[in-house]
Chain A
Amino acid sequence: MGSRRYLLRKVLHAIATLTFVLAFNFVLFRAIGDPVKLLTRGGSLHLDPKEQQALREEFGLDDPLPAQFVNYLGDTLRGEFGYSFASGRPVIKEIREKMGPTLLLVGISTLLSAAIGILIGIKGAWRRGSAFDTGSLLGSLTLYSMPEGWLGMILLITFAGTLGWFPSGGIESTDQLTGFAHLVDLSKHLFLPCLTLTLGYLGEFAIIMRSSLLEVMGEDFVQTARAKGVRDKDVRRRHAVPNALLPTFTLAFYSVGFILGGAVLIEQVFSYPGLGQLTYGAIDQEDFPVIQAIFLLGSAAVIFFNLLADILYGYLDPRVKEA
């Protein structure tokens, strides 16, 4: 199969998935849940029948479902997610404001956990059964087993509370700082949330990298390289690791979704003003327009990163395109 067809197929697949997510969201809120009840916070916001009718008309709930679906698609594609119950502001504005800090947090944490995890995995696999291997595998499994929200709480209570080394929350001390001083302040605030997310996802990377490298080490071309008399270090660096990196590399892209999800709790724990905190607040207040928008955007982001991973994978490992 040619490169172009491979690309086209992957893009079409991503679009189909996105359409499914859109339809799923529509069905969930209109068909399974009662929209009026959801829009009035489980009926706790008492409305008389007249007001309810007004609400039904405003949201076009009396239109036939297909017409509602078309309206909904149009609104969503235009980025019109309605107004937040909590703040009364357009949902899209709220999201745009909170996106930056979250991208910063999730981006740094993903890179760090992937980089450190991969290094640990390589070292462990290459000396299988060594003290380092056993120790790091056990450590990775332990980190993997920890609820990261809880880990964040423990780090906060220890390093911000008892020891007082880091600020206990927020993203900046004041908004007066500029330049280098601002950067230092920002790093201090980012340190604990980043540490939590990095620790929380590092284990998975180390485990995957380890097993992937172990598998590659048994392959013929590694044996051949050894037989040729290539130095151990070069066998690892030039033959084994590049091939073992592939699955780990895709994992990094697939993990974005999980790390984004993990950020919800971490941001709440560290009062970090990002999408996670917005989500947590929306759950607490049953702010459905916000919850819906976050579900759609979160899914879109994950689908996008998966597509990116597929495309890059096809480029790095041309065998995939043939399949």
Chain B
Amino acid sequence: MITSPHQPDDLTVGTEAAPPPAPRDPKKIKWLRRKRALAGFWLVYRQSKMGMVGLILLVTFIFLALAAPLLVSRTDLGVSDPPGAPFLRPSGEFPLGTDDFGRSVLDLVIYGSRISLIVGFAATVMTMTVGAAVGIIGGYYGGKTDTLMNALTNWFLVIPWIPLAIVLASILGRSLFNTILVIGLTSWAGTARLVRADTLSVKERPYVERARALGASNWHLVSRHILPNVMPVIFANTVLTVALSILAETTLSLLGLGDPSSISWGGVIFDAFDAGALSAGLWWWLIPPGICICLVTLAFTMCGYALDEVLNPKIRER
């Protein structure tokens, strides 16, 4: 994913194995090159302890989210026929106690991983798409288009995100889709700025000039040369954006702007807060979802850090 088929210079790593017999089929060459670049990338990534811890954590949570329907029965999460009495302390039957309806907090936390991760990924896809589009269009076309795109980016960079998110969420209403939309709309600007800067430098490289001289269209240049080469920047940024999106979802939920009908970690904390868990000291209801948010965010951040070190040789240890 990191490497691209049309990457003229090997940006990622300098580990070259002995050249195998060259295949004739161009498709095979492409795949071979991808495989080799990926293997080289993995070799460097593996050395980062932080990156490995993050990756293991991440895989665990993704597995948990995928397996949630097998671990928890959906009926136990309904409020009409809860499995236990309300506000039970942690016990053998309910390892993390129960909430105000009598639902198992452990079940809520397991199921909540789904919404938190979905929002995190979906909002990130939106952020990246908008950010990359605005950044590449501005950087590639330059001139008035760039001025306009740059102004738009700067505006969105400056507007403080919480008030903007509050305004948007209040107007649009509370639903899962709107949560994703609000996070995407408020966080694409940083990506756009990074992508624009990178596009400006890629655009000037000789092979782009060569392709242009050969009569390549704008679309061809952007999709075949610019995009594949700014991909590493977008990708390293993506991982950190997922972390930020998950935190943003939590903040929105805690403000009471989350989707009331879906179970997310932020939503569980909000419900606990709303039901007076603070004054009643119901720690088992508050602590677990927060720790999960913290761990997942940390996992993404650690992976992002490690990725950045691999993809950006400038900051590798001198």
Contact = CB atoms under 8 A, between A and B. Distances in A.
Contacts of B290: 146-147, 150-151, 153-154
Interface of B: 151, 154-155, 158-164, 166-168, 170-171, 243, 247, 250-251, 254-257, 266, 269, 273, 277-279, 281, 283, 286-287, 289-290, 293-295, 297-298, 301-302, 305, 315, 317-318
In this complex, which of B167, B171, B301 has the most chain A Cβ atoms within 10 angstroms of its Cβ? B167
Given A149-B251, A153-B286, A214 B162 contact: no
Interface in A1-18: 13, 16-17
A214 B273 contact: no
Contacts of B315: 211, 214-215
A31 B243 CA distance: 33
B160 A141 contact: no
A114 interface: no
Interface residues of A, number: 57
Contacts of B273: 153, 269
A302 interface: yes
Contact of B281 (A32, A38, A162, A218): A162
Nearest to B152: A20
Contacts of A25: 167
B251 to A, nearest CB: 7
Contact of B166 (A153, A295, A301): A295
A82 interface: no
Interface of A: 13, 16-17, 20-21, 24-25, 28-29, 32-33, 38, 128, 141-142, 144-147, 149-151, 153-154, 156-157, 161-162, 168, 211, 214-215, 218, 257-258, 260-262, 264-265, 269, 279-280, 283-284, 286, 288, 291-292, 294-295, 298-299, 301-303, 306
A38 B171 contact: yes
Give me the 7 closest cross-chain CB pairs, A-B, nearest first.
Answer: A261-B162, A145-B297, A257-B160, A150-B290, A298-B163, A145-B298, A295-B163
A32 B170 CA distance: 12
Contacts of B294: 142, 145-147
Contact of B159 (A38, A291, A302): A302
B163 A294 contact: yes
B278 A269 contact: yes
